[in-house]
Amino acid sequence: MRDWLRREPVVLVRGLGARLWDDEGREYLDANSSIWTNLHGHSHPRIVGAIRSQLGKVAHVSALGFANEPASRFAAELIDAARGPGRDGRKLAKVFYSDDGSTAIETALKLAYEYARRTGPKSGKPRFLSVRGGYHGDTIGAVSLGHIDLFHKAYQGLLFRADAVMAPYCYRCPYNRAPADRRDARLGRKCAWECVDQVANKLSKARSRGRPYAAFVVEPRIQGAAGMIPQPDGWLSRVAALVRSHGALLVTDEVMTGFGRAGGRGILASQAEGVTPDLAALAKGITGGTLPMAATLATRRVFDAFLGEYSEFKTFFHGHSYTANPLGAAAGRASLALLRAKAGTLARERLAVRMDEQLERLWTHPNVGDIRRVGLVAGVELVRDWRTKVPYALEEQAGIRVCAGMAKRGVLTRAIGNVVVLMPPYCTTRAELARMVDAMEESIREEFGARSV
């Protein structure tokens, strides 16, 4: 807090495409997509037009006992877009709206809890399993599911217990199964999926003790706030099959990964692995980064557990004043249409290839330990030396210093500890992307020296 008070913040007043301007007219590139929310660029005319047009009709109406056109249409479109090449015979069928990622998770958590109470074993309280390093938001339920001590430990007394399994953090694999480092082929041995075995053990033990898990909660394909940690291909589908075979629900937190951010052509990252969750939380990019809105998608099986006659009081007792906000839904519909257009899909695929091309040159720096990209998310992990992988202490602010250097060069992004994030809006041009990576490279060299491997 003192650091924040010591500095004058950059006051952002305008945006267009991947660019932002401050109150002194200085131009920046938004290399963090405004905290992972922006998809198609700032002030996109289609989205702005949709919000304006809805504003001319009505800005908000209650969803308690009423419906509104944009929200109902958007729900149908989300369900259609979430229909993946699922090989598991499941289908998401219903949408519950809320306001942000944390509330979308809170909704999923309460649905899973109540579903388990109504349909599962009667002994004990429903229990949850999630992934070490996982981050699911800052409300109490979401914090309980998370496993980042720095953010979560202080609130321990307020939380319920969620068990954790190891993350498949290949770069720091405790079994030394990391994919071979291009700079040293001796690193890494053949992966035998020990991390998946650990999930299997955890699920089996819980079941044999008569206290099976109600749900497994996971950020699919890549963990965000843990430090941009990708899951190797096949991890999610293997884990999903195990979770199912133990009778637990699969809850995917697609708050960061959804809407194409973690790649693939669908709106859910899990679609890329042929996995359909029982509950999926979407937020951040849902309105293209314009208005706060979120959605929790559920299968018909989960929905049906809440059906009953009035006197049974089986309804889902949960809601927010701005649930199903028509302005947000109008923005969401416009954003989804852009996302699903063929030109949009091709542009995203092109941008992903360009990110690899641009980031390639950072491998020559000895303080760059790992470069990870999934879809249109990349993380560059800074280390003391690439050979030893020893991390910088948090107090050294390695990532923060690199980001400050990038801001000086007109590129805004944010680090997660030692991991510098590159998450460009989908409209970022080749030249803009090159400027983002130039700024990162120059800033790394400025902070840690200009040596090369």
Ligand X SMILES: Cc1ncc(COP(=O)(O)O)c(C=O)c1O
Q: Enumerate binding residues for ligand X (CB under 6 A).
A: 100-102, 105, 135-137, 219, 224-225, 253, 255-256, 283-284
Q: Which residues contact 130 (CB under 8 A, 6 or more apart)?
A: 136, 145, 146, 147, 162, 163, 164, 165, 216, 217, 218
C-beta of residue 296 within 8 angstroms of C-beta of residue 251: no
- Strands, sheet with 213-218, edge to edge from the N-terminal-most edge strand: 92-98, 294-299, 279-282, 249-253, 213-218, 127-131, 162-165
Q: Where are the beta strands (DSSP E) in 335-390?
A: 368-374, 377-382
Residue type, 177: R
Q: How far is the CB of 283 from ligand X (least distance, A)?
A: 5
3-state DSSP assignment of residue 193: coil
Q: Cβ 134 to ligand X, closest distance in Å?
A: 8
Smallest gap from residue 77 Cβ to ligand X (A): 21
Q: From the CB of 441, what's the least distance to ligand X, in Å? A: 26
* 405 Cβ contact list (under 8 Å, min separation 6): 439, 442, 443, 444, 446, 447
In sequence order, what DSSP letters do the residues of 218-286 get, joined into one string?
E-SSEESTTTSEEPPTTHHHHHHHHHHHTTPEEEEE-TTTTTTTTSSSSSSGGGGGT---SEEEE-GGG
Q: How far is the CB of 253 from ligand X (least distance, A)?
A: 5
Cβ distance to ligand X smaller for residue 30 or 432: 30
Q: Between 405 and 425, whose beta carbon lies closer to ligand X?
A: 425
State the nearest-atom distance from the C-beta of 442 to ligand X, in Å.
Answer: 28
332 with 368: CB under 8 angstroms?
A: no
**Least Å distance between CB 325 and ligand X?**
15
Q: How far is the CB of 9 from ligand X (least distance, A)?
A: 19
Q: Which is nearer to ligand X, 219 or 370 (CB)?
A: 219
Q: Which lies closer to ligand X via its Cβ, residue 107 or residue 299? A: 107
Task: Kindly list the distances between the CA atom of residue 318 and the CA atoms of 51, 98, 231, 278, 407, in Å, as whole numbers in the listed order.
Answer: 27, 10, 33, 19, 41
Q: Alpha-carbon distance 271 to 103, whole Å?
A: 23
Beta-bridged to residue 95, according to DSSP, are: 297
Return the residue nearest ligand X (CB atom): 101
Residue 269, amino acid: A
Q: How far is the CB of 269 from ligand X (least distance, A)?
A: 11
Nearer to ligand X (CB atom), residue 68 or residue 257:
257
Q: Which two tokens stand for residue 20?
A: 């932002």
Considering the complex, state which of residue 37 and residue 418 has its C-beta at the smaller distance from ligand X: 37
Query: With respect to ligand X, which residue has the nearer C-beta, 102 or 107?
Result: 102
For residue 131, list its beta bridge partners.
165
Alpha carbon distances (Å) from 129 to 69, 108, 166, 219, 310? 37, 14, 11, 12, 33
Closest distance between ligand X and the C-beta of residue 105, in Å? 6
Shorter beta-carbon distance to ligand X: residue 320 or 354: 320
Minimum distance from residue 100 beta carbon to ligand X (Å) = 3
Nearer to ligand X, 262 or 444 (CB): 262
**Rounded (10°) angle between helices 398-408 and 430-448:** 130
Nearer CB in complex with ligand X: 96/386 = 96
Output the six-digit token pair for 365. Answer: 């720096």
- Which residue's CB is nearer to ligand X, number 35 or number 58? 35
Report the phi/psi class of residue 133: left, alpha or beta, with left for phi > 0 and alpha for psi in -120 to 50. left
